[in-house]
Amino acid sequence: MTSGATRSGFATFVGRPNVGKSTLTNALVGEKVAITSDKPQTTRRAIRGILNRPAGQLVIVDTPGIHKPRTLLGQRLNDLVEQVLGDVDVIGFLVPATDKVGPGDRRIAASLDGYPRAKKVAIVTKTDLAGRDEIMERLMEVDSLREDWAAVIPLSAVTDEQLDVLTDELLSLMPEGPALYPDDVVTDESTADRIAEIIREAALEGVRDELPHSIAVTVEDVAAREDSDLTDVFANIVVERDSQKAIIIGRKGSRLADVGARARAQIEPLVGSRVFLSLRVRVAKEWQRDPKQLGRLGF
């Protein structure tokens, strides 16, 4: 690296569902740009979080987890991951310190052969939940998965332990070049898209079985109300069946009111004002399998 030069580029994280990709993205950026949930396949888009340091700029691309698709939506999410992996400069492979390396981890680690231009970093997450011996065992297991790791780093996105080590390592692996985004931007997501994701995160809370996969959110309008400090937000929660609609609404609308309250608490700091949030629940039959419906919902 020449004197005074800066680096910039793209990194993404891969791993089994629920290894903490979105949590790590948010921790690195220092702001919530990706929703988190204990439900698999929570992330549905390539969400870019932007991290600025004196040495350069990192763009973290949070993607859906790699999984065996059962619907057209699932296939399109996998295709999106493939596209991102082919474009980034660095791929971080995540394994939780609390779980032994298994066949799924080995399969994903081996699949990185398909992306020769990207440098690879192994990351052992959730070290705050594991003992020293467990962390050492995981580091050795992960290290043995590939011979071309640029680094193997243990960290905790919850306690911020070693996050600076990962940031420095990722930046050092980026190509020389100017910043790709202005230094006051933390994500290239639109406000409407961020609001839709916040509402979906609130709707995911406490639902079980297939319902998480069936929930989508569209935002119809976000507008400042005239002669008021209120911002009006009109949005739809989309499900696949009438029975799911009843679950989302809840008894006498109690569950939908709870979703609205949780979402509004996060939307207000985002838009910088009090919010009137209007939520409607509508049914789009089998939208995960319908190309036209997927298109309308942005997939």
23 has binding-site annotation? no
Helix, strand, coil shares of the chain, percent, nearest 5, are 40, 25, 35
Say how far apart CA 68 and CA 214 lie, in whole Å: 17
Short-list 47, 21, 2, 272, CA closest to 123: 21
pLDDT for residue 3: 43
Residue type, 290: D
18 has binding-site annotation? yes
128 has binding-site annotation? yes
Tokens of residue 180, six digits? 């790709």
Is a pLDDT exceeding 90 seen at residue 68?
Answer: no
298 has binding-site annotation? no
Is a pLDDT exceeding 60 seen at residue 62?
Answer: yes
26 has binding-site annotation? no
Is a pLDDT exceeding 80 seen at residue 17?
Answer: no
76 has binding-site annotation? no
Residue 276 CB neighbours (<10 A): 12
Q: Which domains does the chain have, with CATH numbers?
A: 7-173 (3.40.50.300), 191-297 (3.30.300.20)
Comparing 36-45, 50-59, 233-242, the range with the smallest average pLDDT is 36-45
49 has binding-site annotation? no
19 has binding-site annotation? yes
Sheet architecture: strand order including 47-53: 47-53, 56-62, 7-14, 90-96, 119-125, 149-154
pLDDT for residue 79: 84
- Side-chain half-sphere exposure of 241, counting CA atoms within 13 A: 8
The confidence band for 64, taking pLDDT boundaries of 50, 70 and 90, is confident
167 has binding-site annotation? no
20 has binding-site annotation? yes
291 has binding-site annotation? no
65 has binding-site annotation? yes
146 has binding-site annotation? no
Short-list 19, 123, 13, CA closest to 62: 13
User: Is 0.85 surpassed by the pTM of this model?
Assistant: no
The confidence band for 110, taking pLDDT boundaries of 50, 70 and 90, is very high
Is a pLDDT exceeding 70 seen at residue 142?
Answer: yes
Q: Is 122 buried (19+), middle (13-18) or exposed (0-12) by CB count in 10 A?
A: buried
Is a pLDDT exceeding 90 seen at residue 176?
Answer: yes
Three-state DSSP class for residue 156: coil
164 has binding-site annotation? no
Q: Are 152 and 124 in contact (CB under 8 A)?
A: yes
Three-state DSSP class for residue 77: helix
The DSSP 8-state label assigned to residue 1 in this structure reads: -
pLDDT in tens, 124-133: 999 999 999 9
81 has binding-site annotation? no
pLDDT in tens, 84-104: 888 999 999 999 999 999 999
